[in-house]
A = this chain, B = another copy of it.
């Protein structure tokens, strides 16, 4: 049942479910509690691990189905950082719109805000007759820690840079 220390934001999810005519089950509450209780960008595997660490065994299918509801509710964002699987991040207690710095060595994700990007989105969209709905700005590279521990990014490619053709 795990009524212990349920994250307050879980109630918001409960409201969304009620609005949509879906019941709040203990599995849904548990998955939501894990997601709202972390400020990381969690993978399904990590979520499953957190649940198991609490002594709750919830099937992957249920986790996926609950994440789908959380994303629909707009309380949670889904990200694909090109790792071959998705990551999930709740949108509460943080700036609703933010961008990501992703370390190519350790995978750490850092968030940052930018107002310029909103202006840029607006302007570019206008120039193309495009109605923007959302954007994604990701900067990939090496985080401070990995730089210091001497991590390197392999670089191959043509010996003659294409610009010199």
Q: Which A residues fall within an 8 A CB radius of B? A: 12, 15-16, 19-20, 72-75, 80, 82, 91-92, 96, 99, 101, 103-104, 110, 112, 114, 116-117, 120-121, 124-125, 127-144, 147, 153, 156-160, 162-163, 165
Contacts and interface: CB of A to CB of B under 8 A. Distances in A.
A140 B135 contact: yes
29 contacts: A12-B165, A16-B157, A73-B156, A73-B157, A73-B158, A74-B156, A74-B157, A74-B158, A80-B80, A92-B162, A96-B163, A99-B124, A101-B125, A101-B128, A103-B130, A110-B128, A112-B127, A114-B124, A116-B116, A117-B120, A121-B139, A125-B139, A125-B141, A128-B143, A129-B143, A133-B140, A135-B137, A135-B140, A137-B137
Contacts of A130: 101, 103, 110, 139, 141-144
B140 A124 contact: no
A73 B127 CA distance: 33
Given A91-B162, A114-B120, A157-B74, A142 B131 contact: yes
10 A-B pairs with the lowest CB-CB distances in the bound complex, closest first: A129-B144, A74-B157, A132-B141, A133-B141, A131-B142, A135-B139, A136-B138, A131-B141, A137-B137, A16-B158
Chain A contact residues: helix, strand, loop or mixed:
mixed
A134 B117 CA distance: 16
Given A16-B158, A141-B134, A162-B12, A116 B125 contact: no
A50 to B, nearest CB: 23
Given A15-B158, A132-B141, A133-B153, 8 more contacts: A12-B158, A117-B137, A129-B143, A130-B144, A132-B139, A134-B139, A136-B136, A136-B137
